[in-house]
Structure 1
Amino acid sequence: MTDDELLYVLALQHVSNIGDVGAKKLIAHCGSAQAVFKEKKHVLAKIDGIGAVRLNGLSLDTHLKVAEKELEYIKENNICCLYFESNEYPEKLKHCIDGPILMFQSGEVNLQAQRIISIVGTRKITTSGIAFCEKLIEELTPFNPLIVSGFAYGTDITAHKAAMKNGLQTIGCLAHGLNQIYPKVHKKYVAEVEKHGGFLTDFWSTSAFDRNNFLKRNRIIAGLSSATIVIESAERGGSLVTADIANSYNRDVFAVPGRTTDSLSKGCNDLIKQQKAQLLSTPLDVAYMLNWDVEQEQKVIQKQLFVELDDQETLIFNFLKTSDKQLLDTIAISCGLPIFKVAGVLLNMELKGVVRPLPGKLFELI
């Protein structure tokens, strides 16, 4: 995209009444952002979903001046601009009707990665929530996923740090321009994140900092990925909004269950109860449900087995490894163990994420 083309896209993005959905309709009708400003308003008003009211303020002179200043900032800071019709624009976000017409990126990140997951949750994450998040990312590392989050307190920064610790790329989606960082205490992580990925936003350097920005930002978190994972959440919160957006995009949503008496499990439990999310009990549930490479999955299991399985668990694992899914009774007979003992061992293996129960008292390796 040339600077001249970018200038008109910026100008159109700055028209508050239009929005991303309206801007895409106008560009589709006129062919370019520049052509939108040249077209007569009464013609534009006839476009489905536009109307005269939304065109109020569509003045080229007004928006071109501020766009020129933003373009200057972009060039001075070597910011990468991602236009929704370009090849560089994230593929999954292209399919979201309200995806930004233009985003700004810092750092080096492969936005065309095939395996992208978003991890969200409360800013007041518990120690068990931190442990689960870290384990989740560690055990998914062999699949080399790109980890997306919002760079906020709690779950977000936990996910970013765990991704970097395991050598994965990570993206921080910001609710403000690239000229600032919120919260300020997270400035110390900026350089490292940009080495392992980068930051994305559709807000300008001149955008006012507003709480509603975080809700708007959440559509990017949900839209970038194949699945959104909610680690912990109270009954209400931004992570539940992200989950709802992901559902509206027909993306997978996972939620980590918790005790009914825990306030920070209320949101996740409700998502599962309302069938808005799949229950996530072990990290490999994600790989299984997203149909990630089975061979890689087995490598993860082997690493886990070496550390965690006792003699009886290893015996059952080796049997199932060569015989596909099997009945509880068959497992007991073949392994020479009492049925009551096998039932208990299989439960432990299920909790460790090694086997899964199937209808009809069948069991198989994950």
Structure 2
Amino acid sequence: MTKEELKLFLGFQFMKGIGIKTAKSLIAQSGGIENFYSLSKVQLKNLEGASDKLVQKIKRKEALKEAEEYLDFLTREDLSVFNYLSPLYPRRLKHCADAPLLLFGKGNLDFDYPKTVAIVGTRNATPYGKMLVEELIQKFAEHKLQVVSGLAYGIDIHAHKLCVNYGLSTVGVLGHGLDRIYPAIHKNTAQQMMAKGGLLTEFLPGTKPDRENFPTRNRIVAGMCDATIVVESGEKGGSLITAYLANDYNRDVFAFPGDVNKPYSKGCNKLIRLQRAHLISSSEDLFYLMNWEKSAPEAVQIPLFLELNAEEQNIVDLLRDKNEQSIDELAYHLKQPVSQVSTTLLNLEFQGCVKSLPGKRYLLAV
């Protein structure tokens, strides 16, 4: 991503009244983020979701001026920035409608691990909970899984520390900007995580660890992962929020049962009772239920013998190069309106060339 593109994406952080879903829709309908900034107000009003009231609130020039102030800091601190259309953006998170436009990262971040798991739980971890986490991490080390958590007290930091000890990639998702570490006592562990993994946030540098930020960041933890494991939890708390978000994203959720009289087993027992999580007693249960013990069959490639027009061929080439893509991503790369891309995709589906997936995502059918 060029410095100019980064400024354009940063600009959306300073536009009042535009939520994540609306922003993505406006960018796609404009045929790309550059086009969005060059549209007149009349043209903006013609876009779906851009009411007169919203258009009056959008101050694009002022937003870009504010974005400019952050560019030097991001470059100076050597932070990685991922926009939602980039192939480097966490691919599982891309499937979530409320995934952030931008993510800021620090460390050696790789979001393309075949298996990624969230481990979450109470800040008041017991010896029982810590034992469960260690058993999981030992197993994960054999299969080179990536572990995501929130760098919080208790289960989170215990999982991160064990990953560092066992040489596993681990990512801490923060509820504040990357100019600080919260809690500060975890700064040393955060630094050790940089070698293989690192830190990730949607919040701009300078954002404080305010209470309301943490439930928001939990959706990133849930969305980045194939599965979420709740180790210990009270009847209420952030780990339950993460579990419910993972449910909403159609991701698998697992929980360890515990003593019904223990306060930090009540959350896990509740998830299991309400059938919001699968009961597991060990890593073996997780691997069995996720079908991870079996090796995947070799993919069979069938050649295409279709006469495609230029627009169809462009989409086929993109899907061949980038694999699965959303209609918004295709529109961005092709610099075409979503309606035009949608028509071409429909033609390709009729020809049996493209397969549609939930969430308006597409891949080659062969």
TM-score, reference length from structure 1: 0.77
Q: How does 1:169-208 map to 2 (within 5 A)?
A: 169-208=169-208
Q: Report if the CA contact (8 A) 1:41-1:52 is conserved.
A: no
Amino acid at match of 1:4: E
Q: CA deviation at 1:145?
A: 0.5
Say if 1:31 and 1:281 are closer, same or farther in 2 by CA, change over 3 A. same
1:140–1:287 CA contact under 8 A, matched in 2 = no
Deviations 1:56-79 (A, max 9, x none): 531123211221111111111111
Are 2:104 and 1:111 aligned? no
Distance 1:179 1:287 in 2: 37
- 1:97 aligned partner: 97
Q: Tell me how far 1:54 sits from its aligned partner.
A: 3.9
Distance 1:134 1:54 in 2: 50
Deviation, 1:208, is 4.0
1:212 & 1:9 partners in 2: Cα distance? 23
- The CA RMSD over aligned residues, in Å, is 1.7
**In structure 1, C-alpha distance between the alignment counterparts of 2:137 and 2:61, rounded to whole Å:** 49
Q: How does 1:11-22 map to 2 (within 5 A)?
A: 11-22=11-22
Give the distance between the partners of 2:290 and 2:14, measured in 1 at CA: 37
In 2, the alpha carbon distance for the partners of 1:47 and 1:159 equals: 46
Deviation sequence 1:224-263 (CA, Å, 0-9, x none): 0000000111111011111111011100000111111111
**Counterpart position of 1:120:** 120
Q: Which amino acid aligns with 1:145?
A: L
- The equivalences for 1:1-366 within 5 A come to 1-294=1-294
- Mapped to 1, the partners of 2:207 and 2:32 lie a distance apart of 24
**Per-residue Cα deviation, 1:68-96 (whole angstroms, up to 9, x for no partner):** 11111111111111111111111101100
Cα distance in 2 between the residues matched to 1:108 and 1:221: 18
Indicate the residue corresponding to 2:353 in structure 1.
none
Cα pair distance change 1:194/1:268, threshold 3 Å: same
Q: Matched residue pairs, number?
A: 296
Opposite residue 187 of structure 1, the aligned amino acid is K
- Do the aligned residues in 1 keep the contact of 2:135 with 2:282 (CA within 8 Å)? no
Change (3 A) 1:31 1:237: same
Kindly indicate whether the alpha-carbon contact (under 8 Å) linking 1:13 and 1:23 is maintained by their aligned counterparts in 2: no
CA distance in structure 2 between the aligned counterparts of 1:13 and 1:29, rounded to whole angstroms: 19
Structure 2 runs not aligned, ≥5 long:
297-366
Q: Does the aligned pair in 2 maintain the 1:17–1:54 contact within 8 Å? A: yes
Larger of the two Rg values belongs to structure: 1
Deviations 1:191-231 (A, max 9, x none): 20101211111110132432111011011100100000001
After superposition, the Cα gap between the structure-2 partners of 1:35 and 1:295, relative to the gap in structure 1 and judged at 3 Å, is: closer
> SS in structure 1 opposite 2:57?
coil
Per-residue deviation, residues 9-39 of structure 1 (Å, max 9, x unmatched): 1001332421221111111111222322322
Question: CA offset at residue 185 of structure 1?
Answer: 0.8
Give the structure 1 partner of residue 355 of structure 2. Answer: none
CA distance in 2, matches of 1:222, 1:101: 17
**195-204 vs 12-21, greater mean Cα deviation:** 12-21
Closer/same/farther in 2, CA of residues 237 and 115 from structure 1, 3 Å limit = same
Q: Cα–Cα, structure 1 residues 35 and 233, in superposed 2: closer, same or farther, change >3 Å?
A: same
Shift of 1:116: 0.2
Partners of 2:156 and 2:16 lie apart in 1 by 29
Task: Name the SS for the 2:81 alignment partner.
Answer: strand
Asked whether the 8 Å contact 1:42–1:52 carries over to 2, the reply is no
Which structure has more RCO (C-alpha within 8 Å, separation ≥ 6)?
Answer: 2
Does the 8 Å CA contact 1:143/1:292 hold for their aligned counterparts?
no
For 2:291, give the aligned amino acid.
Answer: N
50 and 249 in structure 1: CA distance in 2 versus 1, 3 angstrom threshold:
farther
Aligned partners of 2:281, 2:50: CA distance in 1, in Å? 46
Range with bigger deviation, 9-18 or 38-47: 38-47
Alpha-carbon spacing, 1:137–1:45, altered in 2? closer, same or farther (3 Å): farther
Q: 1:291 to 1:27 in 2, by over 3 A?
A: same
In the TM superposition, structure 1's runs of 4+ consecutive aligned residues that sit over 6 Å from their partners are none
In structure 2, the residue matched to 1:330 is: none
Distance 2:246 2:21 in 1: 17
The alpha-carbon distance between structure 1 residues 128 and 241, as it changes in their structure 2 partners (threshold 3 A), is same
> Are the counterparts in 2 of residues 37 and 59 from structure 1 also a CA contact under 8 Å?
no
Moved more, 26-35 or 70-79: 26-35
Specify whether residues 190 and 292 from structure 1 end up closer, same or farther in structure 2 by C-alpha distance, changes over 3 A only: same
Q: Counterparts of 1:280 and 1:41 in 2: how far apart (Å)?
A: 55
Kept in 1: contact 2:15–2:60 (CA 8 A) = no
Write the distance in 2 (CA, Å) between the matches of 1:66 and 1:41: 21
Check whether the contact 1:133–1:159 (CA below 8 A) recurs between aligned residues.
Answer: yes
How much identity, in percent, do the aligned residues show?
A: 41
Cα pair 1:136 1:283 within 8 Å, conserved = yes
